[in-house]
Amino acid sequence: MSPDRRQPTAQDVAREAGVSRTTVSFVLNDTPGQSIPESTRQAVLAAADRLGYAPSAAARALRSGRSEVVLCLLGSWVASREKDRFLGLMTAHLAEEGFAFVAHSRAYTDRPVDDLWRAITPAAVITLLDLSPDDRAAVERSGAAIVEVSLDPPRSGQVGSALNQADIGRMQVEHLVARGHRRIAYVFPDDPGHEPMAVRRLDGVRAECRKRDLADPFVRALPGGEGAAGNVVSELRRGRWPVTGVCAFSDETAFALLAGMRENGLQAPADLAVIGVDDDPLARYSYPPLTTIRVDMAAEARRLIDAVLVALGRESRTKPPQIEEPILNLVERDST
């Protein structure tokens, strides 16, 4: 449709089909209890098809009291390729179930989101943060289903993530120890948006070090800015017992550390082994190619969508294949 052409209306459909506006409404909304001849119904549907008419989402929401929208509150969301992929999978899978997916970041603000409920009237709200009493009351008044996702063991009424963030840290240490490393470090970005996941992955690193009778990991935040990674690498290599293996919070963190090693004239894995998380598409092209933990984001997305459908009392329109692979997989390359 050209930008100057207006969207057809129900009145246009009525004129095209030679029926009343009310008849069009009854047919297109499949209103029960109406005796409309099949020939009239087919004429209305054909007219709507010729004109390219589709009822607006706002009109559907007014009739049903809610839209076919799933709203996701992300909390302090820091963009990355893997997170973008997760949002893309959520969008695609929910579309298959007949829903539009809207993601809303509430990073660094405590502003209530009552305006969202009024504007969107979502069918369901997925929240990755604790709702304030006012927000919870607003959601409940709207009649939307609430799906709370917890990174920790879920409380009653919450949906636990299939992905235990601590398991990522455990797997990283397990691999480094298998490669002969005994002095381990954990490096994470100096950004509050990463803190919830970073803390839980560090818990896993510490737990695995204790299990293997290793010293507590050397922990460093990686600030932004030129030369920061080189300075962190220098710190890791100082002292009587220098670090030999690093668990990086993400592949992006690992890329920065590899660059910092080159600034210091060091090479991986001979001087310092590095393992990341996410299996970023660039991981295989880094120097050296990066060992990493691949996360099955498709499995995570599907599990969350299933929780939404359960909360709404609906059955899935699609029958996804049974997931056989583990949700975390080690991808071995040359950096360790």
- Work out the average pLDDT over 47-72: 68
Mean of pLDDT over the chain: 84
**Equal fold, 10-55 vs 69-163+299-326:** no
Query: Residue 109: how many CB atoms within 10 A of its CB?
Result: 9
Cis bond upstream, residue 288 (ω within 30): yes
Check: CB of residue 44 under 8 Å from CB of residue 85: no
- Work out the average pLDDT over 181-189: 97
Length of the chain: 336
Nearest alpha carbon to residue 183 among 256, 93, 247: 247
Q: For domain 10-55, is the CATH number 1.10.1740.10?
A: no
The full set of domain ranges for the chain reads 10-55, 69-163+299-326, 165-295
pLDDT of residue 118: 65
The residue with greater pLDDT, 326 or 210, is 210
Rounded Cα distance, 260 and 228, in Å: 8
User: Superfamily assignment of 69-163+299-326 in CATH?
Assistant: Response regulator (3.40.50.2300)
Task: Look up residue 266 and give its two tokens.
Answer: 């060091």
- Percentage of the chain surpassing pLDDT 90? 41
pLDDT-derived band at 156, boundaries 50, 70, 90: low
Which tens digit of pLDDT belongs to each residue from 214-251?
999 999 999 988 899 999 999 999 988 899 999 999 99
Nearest alpha carbon to residue 329 among 306, 298, 303: 298
- Name the β-bridge partners of 316: none
Check: CB of residue 274 under 8 Å from CB of residue 184: no
DSSP type of residue 277: E
The CATH-assigned architecture of domain 165-295 is 3-Layer(aba) Sandwich (3.40)
Report, in angstroms and rounded to the nearest whole number, the Rg of the chain calculated over CA atoms: 26
Q: At what angle do helices 81-96 and 297-312 cross, to 10 degrees?
A: 40
User: Is residue 20 within a helix (H) or strand (E), and if so which, with residue range?
Assistant: none
- Work out the average pLDDT over 113-134: 75
